[in-house]
Structure 1
Amino acid sequence: MPPVSYINRRNTISEALKELNNYPSNSKRPSINSVAKSFGIPEATLRRAVKNGNPPNRTGPPTILTKHEEDQLAGYCINVQKLGFGLTRSGVNHCVMEILRLSKRPHPFNNNGPGHDWWVRFMRDHPELSFRTPQELSEARAQKANATIEEHITLKNENDLLRSQVKKLSEELETYKNPGTCALCLALKYPVSQAQNSQ
């Protein structure tokens, strides 16, 4: 039997339950075993779904953080990234461990925090997050950026772009307790040409 993804299996179990419950009144109800074979799902799984009345919502052990906590963590990562703080995986691990320490809940993590399996599930549950390798800043771009920044600093008029951005950022920073703690850079990985690779 080919492996079936969990989303498809949930739909398949629902279809199998419909077939078991919606048989014609003049015919005999099909057996659980025959329906399970026809849909390609284990008989025990279908029996459990018949007993409980619906397919299971989730397989495996419960998550360490609640859904609400994970959503808040993902939102925090996005908001802090918007402020320009690049964050590593270890930074998010630190946030998770801090949440667990403050709530005094037992957890299976070692001192380094969540491992690879936790990250795979967390990133799957939050597709809006992704890892990004930052693009290198060339010397020419750095010189141009410095000149532009110096030019904005010397401006004294009311429409100073830098002042308005600094004011906006400082207001946003006040809403966060510790803005540099965790965020994920959300962007596609930039392609690196062969010439850049050799340098």
Structure 2
Amino acid sequence: MVFNYKRKSERGSTWTETSMEHALQAVRNGESIRKASLIYNIPFSTLLKHVKSNKTTKSLGRFKTVFTPEEEQEFVTHIKELDSRFYALMRRDLCVLAYQYAEANHIIHCFKNNAAGQQWYQNFMKRHPELSLRTHEPTSVARASGFNRPQVERFFENLRDSSRKTIFCLKICTM
């Protein structure tokens, strides 16, 4: 499956949206479709199709992103918030979260199996290279049981005692 399609020709890019709007306006004002297509350098069949469908925007490719740029930025902000709270997201978690976000906001999507697909994930990470997903690191039982209130209090007592015993000299060193 192709993930990075690069256009190989300039075919179909002879006209702009503004020239299409001008050509459509000329046709509405009584100009023939063939003459308007010659004047504004738009293929006849393309102009005919747009006149019949009242379509003025030019769209290349058939693939659209699931989220709008604003929704995607909100989603990225949410992911960064989760990361700042030390909730590490794996690839699967991110895909499930994207599905849940789309469902909660009633966004039309093509996700299957209650998660976004691999291609969506790869394209999303290409669009947002500032995100980095981490892997979960399990905490050992000894470390988890050692992190309790008495241990933390003892740590801060030791820190307070050592800071009272040691007087730190601050010097400006120039070399």
TM-score (norm 1): 0.44
**Larger-gyration structure (1/2):** 2
> Does 1 or 2 have the higher relative contact order (CA < 8 Å, sep 6+)?
1
